[in-house]
Structure 1
Amino acid sequence: MPNTSILKTLSRPRMATYLSVTNQDQTKALELYIWNSQVSAALLVPMHICEIVIRNAIAEIFESQFGGQWPWQRSLELTLPRRYRDELTKARDKRSINNRTSKVIPELTFNFWQQMFVSNYDQQFWQQHLHSLFPNAPVNMPFNQLRGSIFNDLEKIRKFRNRIAHHEPIINQNINSIMDKIERLTRYRCTDTSDWACQHYQVRNLLLTRP
C-alpha cells in the first residue's frame, strides 16, 4: 500500500508519535504529519519578526553605551562571558563584515541576544533603559521582573524553535502559548509592528485545521 511505503521512507520511529495519536491509522498519521510540518513552517514567520525586534532593541542599547562601532569595542567585550565574547569576535571577524555593524548583528545567534537579559546586566542596561526600549510593557512592573519575564519568554521561544529546526513533533505542544509570547514581546517594543505582523501570521488559522 502507498501509505506503508511512505511510512517506511519517513521511518517508523519518526512516525511513531503520529501513529500513536491516531490509533495506528496510517492515513490520519500522514495527514497529521503534514499538518505538523505546515504549522512548523508558519511559526518561522512570527519567530523571525520576534528575533529581529529583540536583537534590534539590544543593538540600540549597545550603540547608546558603546557607540556605532560597538562590536569592536573592548569595553563591550569585557562585559560578556567568554562564550559570547568568542561569538562576537567570530561574527565581526568575517571577511565580508568590513567594520559594518549592520553586518555583524545578523551573525549573532538568538541565544546571544537572549543572554543579554540575564540579571548581570541589570545595573548596566536594564534598570535605566528597559522601559524605554519596551515602552508598551506594563509600566508598574519592576524592571527586574520585566527583564526576567522577557528572558523566560525568549527561552521558551528559542527551545520551541530548536524543536522545529530538528523537525520534531509539535502536535502536543501549546502552540497558542508560544504565539502569545511572540506577540507580547513584539507589542512591548512597538504596537504598530505587532499589529502589522499579526495580520500576516497564519499559525492560529492552521491550528483550527488540525486533522
Structure 2
Amino acid sequence: MKPKFFVKYAQLELYVSQPRLNRFLRACGNSKSKAQKLYKINLRVAQAFYPVMNLFEIFLRNALNNQLALHFNDHDWIINQKPLFMSHLSLAPSRYFLRGCVLKAESKIRPQPITSGKIISEQTLGFWTALFDNHHYILLHGSIMAAFPNKSAATNRSAIATKLKNIREFRNRIYHNEPICFRGNSVDFSAATQILSDVHDVIGWIDPNLLGYTEYFNNVNDKINLANTL
C-alpha cells in the first residue's frame, strides 16, 4: 500500500517552481487544488509512456540495424561505414551527424573494447530517426524502408520521417519533464493520444504481433482519463 501524503500548494510551488505551476493554475481557472491534481495527472501520463516508448525505441533500433546489416552485408556496419557512407561529401551540410554520433559513442566506451553492439546501444533515438532524413535516405537507396514490411504502399519516406520526428520530440518532452497536457492554455491530451497512435502505427509496420506485447504495458489512456475527474 502506498503511503498517504499531503503537500500544500505553496510547498509544491516552492520546489517545482512558480512559473512551471502557473500554466497548470491558469488552465484550471486559478483553482490551486485542481492545478495540483492536474500536475500529478500530467506526471502519471508521462510515466505511463515510459514502457511504451522504451519498447518502441528497442523495436525500431533493432529493425533498422538488422536491415542495414543486410544492406551493407556487414553486421559491423556501424563501425565500418564511418569512413564510407557516414563520410560521404553530400553529408557535409549535416556536419556528418551519424559519424559524429558513432565517434562520441566510441569515446564514451573507451578504454573498454569497442563493439558494434555497444555502439548501437549508445545511440539515441535521434540517430535512428535521422536515417530518414533525405540526405541519408538517398545514400542508403531507400533500403531502410524494408524495416517496415507491413506498411501500406502509400506510406512513403516523408510520412515515416514525420511520424518519427513527432514521436522523438514528444519523447524528449517527457524525458525533460515538460508538460504534455496542454493545447495553448487549455487542458488537452490530444497530442499525447496522437503520439500513442503514431507509435502503434510504426510498431505495426515492423511486426503487428509486437502490438499485443506492447499493449500489455500500455495504460496511457487510463491515466489520461483521470483528467475527466478535474
- Give the TM-score normalised by the residue count of structure 2: 0.81
Structure 1's 96 and 35: CA in aligned 2 closer, same or farther, altered over 3 A? farther
What is the Cα deviation at residue 33 of structure 1? 0.4
What is the Cα deviation at residue 119 of structure 1? 2.2
What is the Cα deviation at residue 180 of structure 1? 0.3
What is the Cα deviation at residue 148 of structure 1? 1.3
Could you tell me the percent identity over the aligned residues?
24
Q: Deviations over 1:147-182 (max 9, x none)?
A: 211111111111111211221111115211000000
Q: Report the equivalent of 1:181.
A: 198
Secondary structure of residue in 2 paired with 1:67? coil
Is 1:62 the equivalent of 2:68? Answer: yes
Matches within 5 A, 1:9-158: 9-64=15-70, 65-73=72-80, 74-79=83-88, 81=94, 82-93=96-107, 94-95=109-110, 98-125=113-140, 127-128=142-143, 130=145, 132-138=146-152, 140-141=153-154, 145-158=155-168
Q: Deviations over 1:108-148 (max 9, x none)?
A: 11111101012234444354552x3211101x32xxx5221
Secondary structure of residue in 1 paired with 2:226? coil
Secondary structure of residue in 1 paired with 2:180? coil
What is the Cα deviation at residue 3 of structure 1? 2.4
CA distance in 1, matches of 2:62, 2:111: 21
Number of aligned positions between the proteins: 206
Gaps of at least 5 residues in structure 2 are 1-6, 183-188
CA distance in 1, matches of 2:15, 2:137: 51
Q: Report the equivalent of 2:178.
A: 168
